[in-house]
Amino acid sequence: MKIKYELLKTDKNARRGIIYTNHGKVETPMFMPVGTLANVKMLTPEELKEVGSGIILSNTYHLWLRPGEDIVKKAGGLHKFMHYDGPILTDSGGFQVFSLAKNKKKDITEEGVHFKSHIDGQKLFLTPELSMEIQNKLDSDIAMSFDECIPYPATYEYTKNSTERTLRWAKRGKDAFKNDQQSLFGIVQGGAYADLRKYSALETVKLGFDGYAIGGTSVGEDKETMYQMVDDAVKYLPVDKPRYLMGVGEPEDLLEGISRGIDMFDCVLPTRLARHANAFTENGKINLKNAKYKEDFTPISSDCDCYTCRHYTKAYLRHLFVAKEALGGRLLSIHNIRFLIKMMEEAREAITNGNFEEYKASFLKKYKN
């Protein structure tokens, strides 16, 4: 079946809802950990479950290159292959064209994108139709339209042309998409131009998708610009479909997104920061490698209920990072993901109680002190 979105409660623009999928229901607003290569780096599905994770994100481009979508299909689909029975969303590969080929040759044509494999340099050609076919074989719950993530800054003309092409790609992808067990989201582009964001949102909605994402943010612009991009797009999205802000973000960005009516987020930050010893805490980010934690035998956060905070001290984690032991990254990934997911739980609660803005203000006051 296709996913279904049920709106439970609104508090100003903030929304609380439920998404029903073939692999269980998840509550929104929600945060999706990123598991690019059919794994959330360093964590097992059991650990993800314990941390309260709902949907996880995986990646078309990376799985296309290895192990190849046919192998995943033979394994019985992504869920079986990676032993994860919760919902999975696959990104289309559009972002990788932007991020992997940033300083390299890439050729974006009407038909699709020519670029080179980051693994062996072989020539690749990705089209909206191919992205749909791959995602189909991966058998994720939610597939994403193939889009171009526009760099920042970009000229009006470039942004307009790219945004229009992404719309044509969205139409082609949708036409090629013939799987009633999988849902498909459209992606709003439009760069930092309000009229193009509006245009992209309205036209994408006209095509008709199971959900709508806002893309092309957190690509180097400042935060105010990013929040403005969201404002310029989200008001044109239908209330009865989930809204997904792609690639975001930091705790404050998630709260700002929820304020503006976003339901779903994904970001590599909790796991990437964890691998570099950075921990989220209610008082801001800390770097566990700092010498001041050498003899700090308290947990990262006494308020945190995660496995790591229940059993380990900052001094021990610091030791693991200084000694370059992988367990440090694992334990901190658990904490960082839990931190964001717990924040989402609190946000949902606050929306239900009608005091989300107060929750956000008090969170930010502590976090950014």
| Contact set with RNA (CB under 7 A) | 34-37, 39-42, 57, 59, 62, 91-92, 94-96, 98-101, 103-104, 118-119, 144, 147, 149, 187, 213, 215-219, 223, 246-250, 253, 266-269, 271-273, 275-276, 278, 285, 287, 289-292, 294, 322, 324, 326, 329
CB of 145 to RNA, least distance (A): 7
Which residue's CB is nearer to RNA, number 1 or number 58? 58
Sign of CA dihedral 91, 94, 95, 100: positive
The verdict on whether 222 is a catalytic residue reads no
Q: How far apart are CA 201 and CA 158, in angstroms?
A: 18
Which residue's CB is nearer to RNA, number 66 or number 235? 66
Which residue's CB is nearer to RNA, number 6 or number 251? 251
Amino acid identity at 187: I
Q: What are residue 15's DSSP bridge partners?
A: 10
The verdict on whether 266 is a catalytic residue reads yes
CB of 352 to RNA, least distance (A): 26
Which residue's CB is nearer to RNA, number 8 or number 83? 83
For residue 277, give Cα distances in angstroms to 198, 253, 290. 40, 21, 9
Are the CB atoms for 200 and 163 separated by under 8 Å? yes
Catalytic one among 91, 139, 210, 232? 91
Are the CB atoms for 143 and 21 separated by under 8 Å? no
Strands (E), the chain: 4-11, 14-21, 24-28, 30-33, 56-59, 88-91, 106-108, 113-116, 123-126, 142-144, 183-188, 211-214, 243-245, 264-267, 278-281, 284-287
CB of 147 to RNA, least distance (A): 5
CB of 124 to RNA, least distance (A): 12
Question: Among all residues, which ones are annotated catalytic?
Answer: 91, 266
